[in-house]
């Protein structure tokens, strides 16, 4: 990210963000799928999965009385995303009973 000073009338500066050098991220989603907003939570988790790049890694932890890792840290390649989405579907299917 760079901040450059330019004289453009009343505008004195602009912000330039370079997105080509993003570092891979490790992300852990922690959720309680049995909560009152489970439908919204499921949609948000799906959005996160689709937003991750193949170099990023994701893990999913659920909790009620105790925490449990339901999806081990894994790269979000197309196979990784499909696996994460299957886990999310299973979580919320079980949470609806």
Residue pLDDT, tens place only, 33-55: 887 888 899 999 999 999 999 99
pLDDT classification of 94: cutoffs 50, 70, 90? low
Summarize pLDDT for 55-81 with one digit per residue, the tens: 999 999 999 889 999 999 999 999 999
CA distances from 21 to 12, 24, 27, 55, 58 (A): 26, 10, 18, 12, 20
In the structure encoding, which two tokens stand for residue 5, read together? 């000073």
Residue 44 falls in which region: left (phi positive, over 0), alpha (psi -120 to 50) or beta: alpha
Is residue 13 within 8 A of residue 5, CB to CB? The reply is yes
Average confidence (pLDDT) over 19-31: 89
Q: Quick one: how far is CA 68 from the chain centroid? A: 18
pTM over 0.85: no
Q: Which of 43, 47, 52 is nearest to 79 (CA)?
A: 52
Q: Delineate the domains of the chain, giving CATH numbers in brackets.
A: 23-95 (3.40.50.410)
């Amino acid at each position: 990210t760079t901040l450059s000073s330019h004289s453009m009338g009343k505008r004195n500066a602009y912000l330039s963000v370079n997105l080509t050098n993003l570092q891979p991220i490790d992300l852990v989603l922690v959720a309680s799928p049995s909560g009152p907003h489970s439908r919204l939570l499921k949609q948000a988790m799906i959005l996160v999965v689709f937003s991750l790049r193949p170099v990023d890694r994701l893990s999913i932890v659920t909790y009620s009385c105790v925490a449990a890792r339901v999806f081990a840290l894994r790269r979000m390649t197309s196979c990784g995303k499909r696996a994460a989405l299957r886990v999310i579907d299973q979580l919320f299917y079980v949470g609806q009973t």
